[in-house]
Amino acid sequence: MKIATWNVNSVNARLEVIINWFRDERPDVCSLQELKCIDEKFPYEAFESLGYNIVVHGQKTYNGVAILSKFPLSDITKGLKGEDEDEQSRYLEAVVDAPTPFRVTSIYLPNGNPLGTEKYSYKLRWIDRLYARATELLQFEEATILSGDFNIIPEPIDCYNPAVWMDDALFQPQVRAAFRKFKNLGYTDAFDVLPPADNRYTFWDYQAGAWQKNEGIRIDHHLLSPQAADKLSGFTIHKATRGIATDNAKASDHVPVSVEFAP
């Protein structure tokens, strides 16, 4: 079973690149973030032709998350509890009705910049709301995978130059401590179990030749419940995807990150 997460940075603008990757890698389940479209504008047919069931929680111009699955999806949750006025489409959850069912999410955690603004306060509140939901999910005692773009750089080694990120919301001590809380709660960062030998980054900015210089950061994560962690058999950061473009679409600034599980 292969489960992937990918911040595609506009699903329609990069559709050709995305579909080519799906054809090559054939994930059983994939969480997408930053769709930048409402539900009705999602390119359903392109993915349905590849055999995927689709759930979308979209938003015009910004945000938007989706879950695509070769298996039926049920028990769907859109959004997090705790802030009724929050209209940003950043959280989607579903049960994948595979022969051995499991629960998966698509998370697009707020960026939070600049510091000292409501955007940063919103990020911290959103993390607290996600933590509350993650706590509830552990009580189900089922295989759960919290997947997505967390917009958190967990450790200094997860960025090319920590000094550059000291004043960025992705690298604040408070934010990094919050990420550790999920692991202390009982979730396992799949990267920690099977770290790739040649690369740990999942994002390279479009500016200043970051990709060409390999100035990347790790912000796309899979956090596994104990029941899921016990079956983890593979972890891949699809780094080459960052450099692939077509005549009609350029690459996202994020790359897919996939995990595999034994039966």
Give the CATH number of the domain where residue 249 resides.
Answer: 3.60.10.10
Decide: residue 200, CB within 10 A, 0-12 exposed, 13-18 middle, 19+ buried. middle
In sign, the C-alpha dihedral spanning 156, 159, 162, 168 is: negative
Spatial separation of the C-alpha atoms in residues 254 and 216, rounded to whole Å = 10
- Cα 181 → chain centroid: 18
Please report, in tens digits, the pLDDT of each residue of the chain (263 residues total): 999 999 999 999 999 999 999 999 999 999 999 999 999 999 999 999 999 999 999 999 999 999 999 999 999 999 999 999 999 999 999 999 999 999 999 999 999 999 999 999 999 999 999 999 999 999 999 999 999 999 999 999 999 999 999 999 999 999 999 999 999 999 999 999 999 999 999 999 999 999 999 999 999 999 999 999 999 999 999 999 999 999 999 999 999 999 999 98
Residue 174, H or E segment? helix 173-185
Decide: residue 97, CB within 10 A, 0-12 exposed, 13-18 middle, 19+ buried. middle
Spatial separation of the C-alpha atoms in residues 105 and 31, rounded to whole Å = 7
The CA angle 162-234-3, to the nearest 5 degrees, is 90
Structurally, how many domains does the chain consist of?
Answer: 1
Q: Of the candidates 9, 26, 11, 18, which has an alpha carbon nearest to the alpha carbon of residue 260?
A: 26
Per residue, the 3-state secondary structure of 35-71, as one string, reads CCCCHHHCCHHHHHCCCCEEEEECCCCCCCEEEEECC
Task: Classify 197 as helix, strand or coil.
Answer: coil
- Residues of the domain holding 107: 2-261
